Amino acid sequence: MSLRDFVSLFLCFGVASGNGHRTYLSMQDAVSQHFGLTTEDNEPCLLLKFGASLYNFNINGSNIKSPMADLSASNVKLDGFCADPQQRNKRAQLTGKWIENGREKILGLKFTTETIKSKIHQVEEVRWVLDTVTYSESYRDSSIEFQNSNLSVPISAPQKQRFLCKDCINITLHNGDYKDIVLELEPEIEAQPFGTVSNIFVCERTRRRTLSESFQNRMTIFSGVVLGISSVSVLTGYSLRRQLIPERFRQYEAFN
């Protein structure tokens, strides 16, 4: 089954915003927990996956963590636009809106592209980045919004690769009149803001953890091999000494 057929079979669609003369449809798959936007031809053009929780340090007490609404569920209204494939500097945006305890809550995500000099190859490469994250709550006539600071979101990948992370990612959001809140994205985290691609970019935290676990597994195997060789060597040495010095062992056995 093609990705297009998969999307058509499982997804719940709604009308999202237009970008210029284009119209995009909201996409929510409760089975795979993917969500985002598609074109009018049902082609995914912005595809995300993650769970989320909020740590609100403005709340008195120890229960500062609360789960965020599942953005792949139908009770969340998605809106936004996809990147124009003809533009060099691409932009895409997705907002999720839901009602909880009488409050309207909105999570906003904005993606852009930028040219960054690679630390490894010392050459410039075009990457997409999650540039802006906002979270707001409204109740009656009052509203409050929190936003990330510049360069505080560690979600980025080369333009032709999708982002994958199997560890939590914390994003600190600010408001000048209140204490910071922390948006915790929960694994498995996937992001393809400018269309679906096959190549994968694994986040740094997952790469490090995977390498560490691989090293530990290798050391465990190596230690087991060394212990096995040592045990065999001891037994072999014991047998050789018994054969080469039989008189000493006869005396020892006679003593017992």
Q: Report domain extents, the chain.
A: 25-202, 204-238
Whole-number pLDDT of residue 215? 45
pLDDT of 121 above 60: yes
* Residue type at 96 in one-letter notation: G
Query: What tokens does 145 get?
Result: 């919004």
Residues 6+ apart with CB under 8 A from 204: 154
Enumerate the β-bridge partners of residue 52: 185
Q: What is the radius of gyration, based on Cα positions, of the chain?
A: 28
Mean pLDDT value of segment 93-109: 97
pLDDT higher than threshold 60 for residue 77: yes
CATH match of 25-202 with 2.40.160.110: yes
CA 160 to chain centre: 17
- Residue 25 neighbours by CB distance under 10 Å: 21
Report CA-CA distances (Å) from 94 to 63, 100, 108, 242.
Answer: 29, 19, 6, 78
- Buried-exposed string 134-148: b where 16+ CB fall within 10 A, e elsewhere: bbbbeeeeeeeebeb
3-state secondary structure (DSSP) of residue 4: helix
- The mean pLDDT of the chain is 83
Confidence band for 7, pLDDT divided at 50, 70 and 90: very low
Determine the pLDDT at residue 208.
84
Q: What is the mean pLDDT of residues 80-100?
A: 94
**In angstroms, rounded to a whole number, what is the distance separating the alpha carbons of residues 90 and 116?**
15
Percent share of the chain, pLDDT over 70: 71
Say if residue 254 is exposed, middle or buried (CB neighbours under 10 Å; 0-12, 13-18, 19+): exposed
Identify the bridge partners of residue 109 per DSSP, sorted by sequence position: 94, 133
Helices (H) and strands (E) in the chain, counts: 3, 15
What phi and psi, each to the nearest 5 degrees, are found at residue 20? 75, -120
Helix (H, G, I), strand (E, B) or coil at 228: helix
Mean pLDDT calculated for residue range 70-94: 94
Calculated CA dihedral for residues 223, 224, 225, 226, nearest 10 degrees = 50
The CA distance from 225 to 133, in Å, is: 50
Per the listing, tokens 């340090």 go with: 57
| Statement: residue 136 has pLDDT above 90 | yes
Pull the structure tokens for residue 122: 């010392």
Tens digits of per-residue pLDDT, 175-221?
A: 999 999 999 999 999 999 999 999 999 998 888 876 655 545 555 55
Query: In the numeric block, which tokens belong to residue 99?
Result: 């009602």
The end-to-end CA distance of the chain, in Å, is 77
Phi, psi of 64 (to 5 degrees): -95, -10
